[in-house]
Amino acid sequence: MSFKLGHLAAWLLLAAVAFMTLAPIGWRPVSGLSIHIERFAAFALIGLAFSLAYPRRLALVTIVVLGAAIAFEALQFLAQSRHAGLPDVVAKLAGGACGLLAGWVLSSWRGRQGPGTTRPD
């Protein structure tokens, strides 16, 4: 059950960010943080979610996450109220890479624990 929930969460996060990236600018939620921090954090969460959902497919999820960052930014050229820029895509790529790395580290650590073992709380 949690296996499928992880997959669903990763794809829903990606879809939500795609919507917020390509929807009219007035629809974008505002957190009050720097826009670059928001972009970084969004893609860090996506990278983390995908690398935890697909721990044995790191190359594929890297292509999906980093490719989405580039594709979403490029697609903004087609949206009238949006504008793409190099600093934006750099923040997204950096966040995605950090999230992927964090997920890989967590997955590796969980894998070393072995099946059926418990950690002390």
Distance CA 58, CA 105 (A): 11
Assigned domain for 8 exists: yes
Distance CA 119, CA 57 (A): 26
Token reading at 4: 């499928």
Assigned domain for 120 exists: no
pLDDT at 1: 41
pLDDT at 121: 36
pLDDT at 113: 61
pLDDT per residue rounded down to tens, the chain (121 residues): 456 888 999 999 999 999 988 888 778 777 888 888 999 999 999 999 999 999 999 999 999 999 999 999 988 887 776 777 888 999 999 999 999 999 999 988 876 665 555 544 3
Assigned domain for 10 exists: yes
Q: How far is CA 77 from the centre of its chain?
A: 21
Number of structural domains in the chain: 1
Domain span at residue 94? 2-23+34-112
